[in-house]
Amino acid sequence: MKDATRLTALAFGMISTALLACNPSNGNKERTANVTNVTADKQQQPTIPYKLSSGKKINLPDELLEISGIAFLEGQDEDIYAIQDEQGLLFKYHLSNQKLTYSPFGKDGDYEDIGISKTHFFILKSNGSVYSFPITEKDNIQTVVEQKDILPKGEYEGLFVDKTSNLAYVLCKECRVDKKQSQTTGYIFAIERDGKFTPKGEFAIQIHELKQFDPKIKKTFKPSALAKKTDSNEWYILSSIDRALVVTDESFRVKSITSLDPKLFPQPEGINFDSKSNLYISSESGNQDKGIIYKFEK
C-alpha cells in the first residue's frame, strides 16, 4: 500500500514538472511582477543626496525671525546673505562667529527672496518688483534700482540667479495666468551690465507631474523658493504651503517630491546651495521662537 502511494505521488510530481516546463513563467509570475514594480518606483523617484531629518540646525538672531530668502556670494560659504519679509534690510550672518550685520536698501515691505550675480544683488518683492544694487555697495547700499511691471500681476516668492548663465529665474506663487491652466509658471530674465532684467522666456511646472509623486497636490502648487544644484543641473523647489521639496531636471520636469516635517520646518521660505553643494533651507519661526537655517551636507 505504501509502495502504491509512493508511485502515485511520484506520478503527480512528474506531471507538475512537465507542466512547469511547458510554461516556466507561471511559477514566478507574481514574484517577477513585484520586483518589476519596486524597480520602476525607484527609477521614478530617485533619492535626494541629503538626509532632511538630520541637518545642522542654526538658530538665528531675533532680527531674522521672519527670514524669507538666503544666498551666497561666490566662493564665500561662511557668510549667508538674507532678507526678511518685513523690512528693507540686507542681512549678513557669519556662520562661524554668529555675527549679524545689516544694511538698509529700501522701505519696509514684503520682501520674499534674494539672488546674487557676479556683479549685483537682487531682491524680489511679493508683488513682482525687483530691487538691485552693486555687490561693491553691500556694506553701504547707495545705488538701488527698482524695476516695476516686469512680471505679470500675481504673488511671487521665488527668485534664483544663475551666476554661470547670468540668468534670473522668478517663480509664481499664485498668478492669474495659472488659474485656467494646470501649472505653475515662471519667468526667465537676462541680466544686463547695469543689473537690469531683460525678458528671456518662460518655463512651467506641470501639476499632473507633481500628482504622480504626491496625490495630495490637487489643482495648484505654491512654491516659496527655488535654487539650482549646479553639479547636477537639478532644480530644488521649496513649498511652505505644500510642505514639500520638489526636485526637477534642468527643464523643470519633476523627478521627485520629499515631504517636509513641520516640526523641523515650521515655515520653510528660503533655499540655496554653497560652493560645495551643501544644501541650506531657512524657515521662518512659525510657532517657534527663532528663525532657523538647516545645513545638510552632501
| DSSP β-ladder status, 145-147 and 234-239 | unpaired
Nearest in space to 260 (alpha carbons), one of 118, 101, 50: 50
Type of residue found at 135: I
pLDDT, average across residues 220-246: 97
Global pTM? 0.85
Nearest in space to 60 (alpha carbons), one of 94, 89, 111, 103: 94
Q: What is the pLDDT of residues 80-125, one digit of tens each?
A: 999 999 999 999 999 999 999 999 999 999 999 999 999 999 999 9
pLDDT, average across residues 206-222: 94
Q: Residue 184: pLDDT above 60? A: yes
Q: Which residues of 118-133 are buried (b: 16+ CB within 10 A; e: fewer)?
A: ebbbbbbbbebbbbbb
Residue 210's φ and ψ, nearest 5 degrees, are -65, -40
Q: What is the pLDDT of residues 85-94, one digit of tens each?
A: 999 999 999 9
pLDDT, average across residues 55-77: 96
CB 132 within 8 A of CB 196: yes
Nearest in space to 189 (alpha carbons), one of 140, 120, 240, 291: 120
User: Angle at the Cα of 82 (from 76 to 83), degrees rounded to 5?
Assistant: 160
Long-range Cβ pairs for the range 216-221 (8 Å, 24+): 216/242, 217/242, 217/244, 217/257, 219/182, 220/174, 220/178, 220/184, 221/184, 221/246
Residue 288: predicted pLDDT: 83
